A and B are shown apart, each in its own frame.
Chain A
Amino acid sequence: MNLEIPNLSLVALVGVSGSGKSTFAKQHFLSTEVVSSDFCRGLVSDDEMNQAASNDAFDLVHYITRKRLKRGLLTVVDATNLQEGGRKQLIEIAREQHVLPVAVVLNMPRKVCEERHQHRTDRPFGLHVIRHQYRALRRSISKLKREGFRKIYILDSEEEVNNAIVQRTKLYNDKRELTGPFDIIGDVHACIDELVILLRKLGYHIKEQSLDIDYGYAVEAPEGRTALFVGDLVDRGPASNKVLRLVMSMVKNGTALCIAGNHDAKLNKKLQGKNVNLKHGLAETLEQLSTEPESFVEEVKDFLDGLISHYVLDCGRLVVAHAGLREEMHGRASGAVRSFAMYGETTGEVDEFGLPVRINWAKEYRGKALVVYGHTPVLNAQFYNNTADIDTGCVFGGKLTALRYPERTFVSVNALRTYAEPGRPIQETTSDTTVDDGLLHIEDVLGRRTITTRMGRNVVIPEQNAVAALEVMSRFAIHPKWLVYLPPTMSPTAVSPLEQYLEHPKEAFSFYESRGQMQVVCQEKHMGSRAVVVIGKDEAAIEKHFGIKGEGIGTIYSRTGRAFFEDKVLEQEVLTHFQTALNNANFWEHFNTTWAVFDCELMPWSAKAQALLKDQYAAVGNAAKASLTKVESVLAKAKERGIDINGHLAKTQARKEAIEQYAEIYKAYCWPVETVEDFKLAPFHILATEGAVHTDQDHIWHMEQIHTICAHAPQILKATAFRLVDLTDEKSMEAAIQWWTDLTEGQGEGMVIKPYNYMVNDENGLVQPAIKCRGRAYLRMIYGPEYTLADNMKRLRKRRLGQKRRLALKEFSLGVEALERFVQKEPLSRVHECVFGILALESEAVDPAL
């Protein structure tokens, strides 16, 4: 016997003690798929036969079953399941988790069980128990169907048990293997003309032909695309019959998929001979169908009856359901799922028009899959929390809309006329708020979280890090809508074997060479503060794309998401300079965008780090100079007296010299800021513009684009010096090293070495996106004025980079993911999740000097 079991279901084994349930389960299922009541009894009482522990044991059985089903895993409950009460609880769990309950009954002849029982030593009860159970089994079998088991298999003999084959089947709604591209079409409601116009606009070729061949239409889809109807093909409009002919033809020849809408379901009911109310357009539909031959109506009946209520497509990334679907229902099957998918969620309340009040499920939607739906007419289709309502009320004189997937663009045609009046006025959108209300939920950020990124990396954010980040994000960061990105940390080079140097470009070169990157881009590293610039063509662009009103043409924030400028006026002045440069460089036209995000360095360092400079850098210099001068004179006096001071005078002089150099270097990064032009902004990545994250462009492209922009505002924008280095060419490397040496012997901080491409993966995974190589002088500010003294160098050479590099990769992946999500117009919570993750990772205790 073939036992067809849906691959997500709750399987209840039913049978008396000794009927072979556990053996059967072991044969056909993974050991982890089987939850046994005996085993749970053992867990809670140390005795598998302890009947007094049954209640607790079943609590555990149910708990495990729920957790597994929630996670989408088939679960077999290995218990006798002879009591109606016990089975009812399982049915309840299956319903609650929206999976199909299946019963497999091992109806062994009584003799077999009794014989087995007598051979077992682990069952401390008499044969009378088996007899009782037998009676219960008899009663059970007849009830299973009524109790709600959707599939029931009864195995009546040892032979049947032995020959049983378990076949796992896919659910009908599971179309994960279809990856599109799709044209998802909203509620047609019998508007045949608009449908034909829309399909042609989308590139479909439609030919009418004899009604006997493929229902009268021949449709060819453009380049492998598939049309996907969200249901409600019929009612209200002029030609339900023709729409059915066209769609049925497309479904038949494989150019379309279709799911059931509530109107389609109602028509089906009627055709099945059930008594239904003929309101809301059904009467007209029946009239239109009456002109059709009987045989076609029969086929309509079969077609409608075969429609399912939702599809999961494209590896789970796309879900289509007539009225939408909550995340926990995706790919599940239950009456509740079907009802939700076709009618949406209601509470039984009715509004002033006597129509059911619909719950706006999309408002709370946080799922990864894009849910496309119709059912509720709106004026314009738009994305909201990773959902899209594409019913734009064609039949009510609105539009017929298609969503192109994966392009995520809308294509509409206007209704040729108004065919029906809506029961209630059509709203702008399904929600009361037109866009994301900007409210975030704590569960989107707190706890130990795993964030899946497009690069295939799963980044884990430990709970304690999230705790640290919450306060910073809540109290110090700017509005989360601005924060579409945070810059990742960057690792320095490995320690140089050269005596004088802790860091040297050679180490970065050999690192990239070892990862097969033979071309690298070296960029001057500016010593300022990292700044992310969000800028719009005008305020309207910022409002449209970032949802922020009245805060100007953009913002500048720090690497922890804080406002860079306390003075908003100053911020806008800096941005205006930048904007002018972008205007003059024809940036907006060139990139076909009205906004952009740049990764930059903002100088002078003293602008942001005044307190740190005063309280730490200048203070140390001041204290050291005074002390060392005194020490020098005291030691000199002792030496004069003929005391052997053991080389301490020379040592002190060396320390003094180190301090002088140290004081020189921090000063280079400080200058007073009186007007806006005292600021220097050096962009080095064009992170994102409308529809695009520019991580697919190489660094030469970024540098060149930015140089063009900077040329238009040289007073304030600073182009970053860079060079392309060929690691197979000694001369090229030497020249780069010389360049670095010249930079760092002046007052430069150093340089950043990046692989030619922005993102590089090799067989060992993601390659470090950048490595910094800081100059010898600059490092005094990091490792202290005296780090170059031999003893100190020896200690510092032991530094380790592993943790820093792992963090850099994680943060980089999250940063790119945040931008991708933003550009894909995913909801705020999905972008924020990544950005928050970066901030959380930044609270990790790593050596701050790295």
Chain B
Amino acid sequence: MLLTIRTTYEPATDLGYLLGKHPERFQTKSLAFGDAHVFYPEANEKACTAALLLEINSIKLQKNRNQQFSESFRLANYVNDRPYVASSFLSTAIAKVLGSALNGNCKDRPNLVDQAIPLEINLTSLPVRGGKEILHRLFEPLGYEVKAENSILDESFPEWGESPYYQVQLKINSPLRLVLSHLYVLIPALDNKKHYFVSEAEIQKLIEKGEEWLKDHPEKDMITKRYLRYRGSFVRSALDQLVNEEVSPQKITENQEEILEKPMNLHALRHQRVIEELKQLEVKSIIDLGCGSGKLLKQLVKERQFQKITGMDISYKSVEVAHKRLYLRDAGPKMKERVSLFHGSLTYCDQRLKGYDAAALVEVIEHLDEARLEALEKVVFQYAQPKVVAVTTPNRAYNVLFEGLPEGQLRHNDHRFEWTRAEFEEWANNVANNHGYTTQFFPLGPVDDNHGAPSQMVVFKLAE
């Protein structure tokens, strides 16, 4: 919310010319989300400090219905850090209030525009996603001397840990316009969120503002990715509304599982193995239960053997994504007859689950509480009763072999459980006994002598 720029270039008051703001005046500009003030707490020949103070009104943000702000941002809670932190709002204010300085226009002191001058920048409460280290990695290659401090989040509750907000001081000898362009791009990149939708225009902005320096920055990939990211953290979807004050797993999911398993390409491997098995069993129709965004479906569709392919997922959003990925909207009638999707649940009996030769549950069961597996079991094996059911799930014993996975932790924070091979086999054999199926188990991925494969599969077959 507060940015100060101090210089000891002499005469220091030339800073007023560079910024196009008179050092003796308190100037205010009204912006869509609040007011921006520019004033000088210090202005003499030796040193001059300009302050850009941003007053964001979160209640105004809430009540303002016809703004360019994204719906999700508007619906965010009134209790919001935005009014108090340096965020993409500050970048917008730099562009709107200090635009000429940012673009290197200065009628009165044109020579100063490209001249390196000693500058000291202070930012209050800068949210840094990823910790202090990121701050150094982003600013130091550009020549800054970086100082950053943060405090305990709440002194009454030391167990809550440190604050994610830093009080930052940057020192550099550089033309002012460059510094402003650094701030413009790096503040939202550090925060890793934006208050507006990221559109094509945003890429253009990044190219413009970062023209001179971004291509040589060692962290340019991270900067670009973060800058262009519109993070869903503000998203108050219907789901979030429901889980309200409880921790929503979606919210905290950085998909660790994918990162862990990526090197061995386990994801593709699992799909490949499931398809191989199903092909052998001369299955003609198949339903992918928990199809997610449709990765397995895409593979299944390629196989001529499968005449009817259906995907189901509990997440309505995933079903929509899968629909897009499979280009179903504009598909011809034969394709539509062959491939279909629906939103449903594995804990409710559903007519639409019936009539398939095979069902696949790839990495699905571990996302349900163990207490609800009984319902899943009845729905799939007793009610829908496909001839073949392929189920895959992680092998917990293998977790010790993953680097970067703390001991005792599961691979994904939505996993309700992860089973060892023995536990998996016990469950599967029990299900098979209850419902007249036979079982066959397969390791998925490279097999370790002691811990087995990272993932495991069982193929159930309905006894004749």
Q: A and B: real partners?
A: yes
Expressed in whole angstroms, the minimum distance between the Cβ of A836 and any Cβ of chain B is 10
A845 & B124 in contact (Cβ 8 Å cutoff): no
B243 & A560 in contact (Cβ 8 Å cutoff): yes
**1/0 contact trace for B186-204 toward A, CB 8 Å?**
0000000000000000000
B163: interface (CB < 8 Å): yes
Residue of B nearest to A472 (CB): B242
A792 & B242 in contact (Cβ 8 Å cutoff): no
Residue of B nearest to A548 (CB): B371
Within 8 A of A (CB), among B26-58: 26, 28, 37, 39-43, 49, 51, 53, 57-58
Please indicate the chain B residues that have their CB under 8 angstroms from the CB of A558 in the complex.
Answer: 246
Q: In the assembly, what is the distance between CA of A622 and CA of B150, in Å?
A: 10
A798: interface (CB < 8 Å): yes
Please indicate the chain B residues that have their CB under 8 angstroms from the CB of A626 in the complex.
Answer: 84, 124-125, 151, 163, 165, 167
A619 & B165 in contact (Cβ 8 Å cutoff): yes
Q: In the assembly, what is the distance between CA of A473 and CA of B345, in Å?
A: 9
B229: interface (CB < 8 Å): no
Expressed in whole angstroms, the minimum distance between the Cβ of A654 and any Cβ of chain B is 12
B79: interface (CB < 8 Å): yes
A460: interface (CB < 8 Å): no
A471 & B239 in contact (Cβ 8 Å cutoff): yes
**1/0 contact trace for A594-637 toward B, CB 8 Å?**
00000000000000111111101111111110111011001111
B238 & A787 in contact (Cβ 8 Å cutoff): no
Residue of B nearest to A616 (CB): B79
A476: interface (CB < 8 Å): yes
Decide: A475 near B367, CB < 8 A? Known: A558-B246, A623-B81, A634-B41.
yes
A784 & B59 in contact (Cβ 8 Å cutoff): yes
Please indicate the chain B residues that have their CB under 8 angstroms from the CB of A631 in the complex.
Answer: 1-2, 53, 124
A675: interface (CB < 8 Å): no
B205: interface (CB < 8 Å): no
B350: interface (CB < 8 Å): yes
Residue of A nearest to B156 (CB): A667
A422: interface (CB < 8 Å): no
Q: In the assembly, what is the distance between CA of A614 and CA of B160, in Å?
A: 7
B316 & A634 in contact (Cβ 8 Å cutoff): no
**1/0 contact trace for B281-314 toward A, CB 8 Å?**
0000000000000000000000000000000001
Residue of B nearest to A842 (CB): B242
Interface stretch of the complex, out of B10-18, B214-222, B375-383: B375-383
**1/0 contact trace for B312-347 toward A, CB 8 Å?**
001110000000000000000000000000011111
Expressed in whole angstroms, the minimum distance between the Cβ of A39 and any Cβ of chain B is 31
Decide: A474 near B348, CB < 8 A? Known: A479-B371, A558-B246, A784-B78.
yes
B316 & A609 in contact (Cβ 8 Å cutoff): no
A441: interface (CB < 8 Å): yes
Q: In the assembly, what is the distance between CA of A670 and CA of B245, in Å?
A: 14
Residue of A nearest to B165 (CB): A623
Please indicate the chain A residues that have their CB under 8 angstroms from the CB of B343 in the complex.
Answer: 467, 470
Interface stretch of the complex, out of A202-210, A388-396, A423-431, A642-650: A642-650
A672 & B75 in contact (Cβ 8 Å cutoff): no
Please indicate the chain A residues that have their CB under 8 angstroms from the CB of B372 in the complex.
Answer: 474, 479
Residue of A nearest to B63 (CB): A795
A84: interface (CB < 8 Å): no
Expressed in whole angstroms, the minimum distance between the Cβ of A348 and any Cβ of chain B is 22
Expressed in whole angstroms, the minimum distance between the Cβ of B97 and any Cβ of chain A is 16
Within 8 A of B (CB), among A439-490: 439-446, 464-465, 467-476, 478-479
Please indicate the chain B residues that have their CB under 8 angstroms from the CB of A798 in the complex.
Answer: 63
Counting contact residues on chain B (CB < 8 A from A), the size range is 35 or more
Residue of A nearest to B237 (CB): A468
Q: Which single member of A440, A529, A613, A635 contacts B349 (CB below 8 Å)?
A: A440
Q: In the assembly, what is the distance between CA of A618 and CA of B165, in Å?
A: 11
A440 & B41 in contact (Cβ 8 Å cutoff): no
A848: interface (CB < 8 Å): yes
B153 & A619 in contact (Cβ 8 Å cutoff): yes
Please indicate the chain B residues that have their CB under 8 angstroms from the CB of A608 in the complex.
Answer: 245-246
Decide: A634 near B379, CB < 8 A? Known: A442-B345, A474-B347, A609-B245.
no
Q: Which single member of B49, B59, B125, B349 contacts A442 (CB below 8 Å)?
A: B349
Q: Which single member of A560, A609, A610, A784 contacts B80 (CB below 8 Å)?
A: A784
Please indicate the chain B residues that have their CB under 8 angstroms from the CB of A795 in the complex.
Answer: 59-60, 63
Q: Which single member of A467, A610, A622, A643 contacts B39 (CB below 8 Å)?
A: A643
Q: Which single member of A469, A529, A638 contacts B51 (CB below 8 Å)?
A: A638
Q: Which single member of B122, B153, B351 contacts A618 (CB below 8 Å)?
A: B153
Expressed in whole angstroms, the minimum distance between the Cβ of B156 and any Cβ of chain A is 5
Decide: A848 near B75, CB < 8 A? Known: A441-B349, A471-B316, A798-B63.
yes
B435: interface (CB < 8 Å): no
B63 & A638 in contact (Cβ 8 Å cutoff): no
Counting contact residues on chain A (CB < 8 A from B), the size range is 35 or more
Please indicate the chain B residues that have their CB under 8 angstroms from the CB of A786 in the complex.
Answer: 59, 83
Expressed in whole angstroms, the minimum distance between the Cβ of A464 and any Cβ of chain B is 8
B41 & A843 in contact (Cβ 8 Å cutoff): no
Residue of B nearest to A664 (CB): B156
A147: interface (CB < 8 Å): no
Please indicate the chain A residues that have their CB under 8 angstroms from the CB of B374 in the complex.
Answer: 438
A1: interface (CB < 8 Å): no
A511: interface (CB < 8 Å): no
Please indicate the chain B residues that have their CB under 8 angstroms from the CB of A577 in the complex.
Answer: none
A619 & B163 in contact (Cβ 8 Å cutoff): yes
A796: interface (CB < 8 Å): yes
Q: Which single member of B41, B75, B79, B252 contacts A635 (CB below 8 Å)?
A: B41
Q: In the assembly, what is the distance between CA of A478 and CA of B242, in Å?
A: 15
B246 & A617 in contact (Cβ 8 Å cutoff): no
Q: In the assembly, what is the distance between CA of A616 and CA of B368, in Å?
A: 28
Expressed in whole angstroms, the minimum distance between the Cβ of B180 and any Cβ of chain A is 19
B153 & A845 in contact (Cβ 8 Å cutoff): no
B244: interface (CB < 8 Å): yes
Please indicate the chain A residues that have their CB under 8 angstroms from the CB of B81 in the complex.
Answer: 616, 619-620, 623-624
Q: In the assembly, what is the distance between CA of A445 and CA of B57, in Å?
A: 41
Please indicate the chain A residues that have their CB under 8 angstroms from the CB of B346 in the complex.
Answer: 474
Q: In the assembly, what is the distance between CA of A529 and CA of B247, in Å?
A: 13
Decide: A637 near B316, CB < 8 A? Known: A470-B343, A472-B243, A560-B243.
no
Please indicate the chain A residues that have their CB under 8 angstroms from the CB of B349 in the complex.
Answer: 439-442
Residue of A nearest to B236 (CB): A848
A562: interface (CB < 8 Å): yes
B378 & A437 in contact (Cβ 8 Å cutoff): yes
Expressed in whole angstroms, the minimum distance between the Cβ of A72 and any Cβ of chain B is 24
A634 & B378 in contact (Cβ 8 Å cutoff): no
Within 8 A of B (CB), among A702-742: none
Q: Which single member of B60, B247, B378 contacts A439 (CB below 8 Å)?
A: B378
Please indicate the chain B residues that have their CB under 8 angstroms from the CB of A24 in the complex.
Answer: none
A286: interface (CB < 8 Å): no
B4: interface (CB < 8 Å): yes
Q: In the assembly, what is the distance between CA of A444 and CA of B367, in Å?
A: 23
A672 & B159 in contact (Cβ 8 Å cutoff): yes
Residue of A nearest to B416 (CB): A475
Expressed in whole angstroms, the minimum distance between the Cβ of B56 and any Cβ of chain A is 11
Q: In the assembly, what is the distance between CA of A623 and CA of B37, in Å?
A: 20
Q: In the assembly, what is the distance between CA of A441 and CA of B349, in Å?
A: 4
6 A-B residue pairs with CB within 8 Å? A440-B347, A622-B163, A624-B81, A634-B41, A792-B57, A845-B238
Binding site for A on B (CB under 8 A): 1-2, 4, 24-26, 28, 37, 39-43, 49, 51, 53, 57-60, 63, 75, 77-81, 83-85, 122, 124-125, 127, 151, 153-154, 156-157, 159-161, 163-165, 167, 236, 238-239, 241-247, 252, 314-316, 343-352, 367-369, 371-372, 374-375, 378-379, 383
Q: Apart from A611-B252, A848-B75, what are 8 other A-B pairs with CB-CB below 8 Å?
A: A438-B375, A474-B348, A479-B371, A627-B2, A634-B4, A634-B53, A641-B40, A641-B43
Binding site for B on A (CB under 8 A): 437-446, 464-465, 467-476, 478-479, 529, 551, 558, 560, 562, 608-614, 616-624, 626-628, 630-631, 634-638, 641, 643-646, 648, 663, 667, 670, 672, 781-787, 791-792, 795-796, 798, 839, 842-843, 845, 848-849
Which 6 pairs across A and B sit closest by C-beta, in order of nearness? A637-B41, A468-B238, A623-B125, A624-B84, A474-B345, A442-B350
